Amino acid sequence: MTTDVEALLADLRQFVAERDWSQFHDPKNLTMLLASEVGELVAEYRWVAGDVADAHSRDAGAARERIIDEVGDVGIALLLLCDRTGIDLGDAIAAKLAKNRVRYPADKARGKPERP
């Protein structure tokens, strides 16, 4: 990722401040924003067979443009939530990955998917 995360956060804060949208952005509402944006991303794949999902994602064209758009929306919602709650996204990811290393030991989890 070439973009600087702190610079993105600064841009997002300015965008929200200019529109006086902070009043709508309590963490509860932001998880709802996140859920609705993820729903739109899911919609991009709901009729796409798994074995062509990679090609569907990478073929230049309208689908890829929409997918990038929806990924952007999801990322914005997630960063807004982290910023509002004072959660460092990178730290949260690193901490969860460390937990997952323990929960799914490589020798036992190999080739078997994560449990639901």
Rule CB under 8 A: which of 45-74 touch a copy of itself? Answer: 45-51, 53-54, 56-58, 66-69, 71-74
- The distance of closest approach from Cβ of residue 27 to a copy of itself in the complex, given in angstroms and rounded to an integer, is 5
* 82-111 residues near a copy of itself, rule: CB under 8 A: 82, 84-97, 99-101, 104, 106, 109-111
Residue 13 touches a copy of itself, criterion: CB under 8 A: no
Sole binder of a copy of itself in the list 60, 61, 102, 113 (CB under 8 A): 113
**Residue 8 vs residues 16, 43, 74, 81: alpha-carbon distances, Å:** 12, 26, 14, 14
Between 2 and 61, CB nearer to a copy of itself: 2
Q: Other C-beta atoms within 10 Å of 35: how many?
A: 11
3-class DSSP state of 108: helix
- The distance of closest approach from Cβ of residue 61 to a copy of itself in the complex, given in angstroms and rounded to an integer, is 13
Residue 21 touches a copy of itself, criterion: CB under 8 A: yes
Residue 10 touches a copy of itself, criterion: CB under 8 A: no
Closest CA to 29 of 18, 41, 16, 44: 16
3-class DSSP state of 18: helix
Asked whether the beta carbons of 105 and 79 are under 8 A apart, the reply is: no
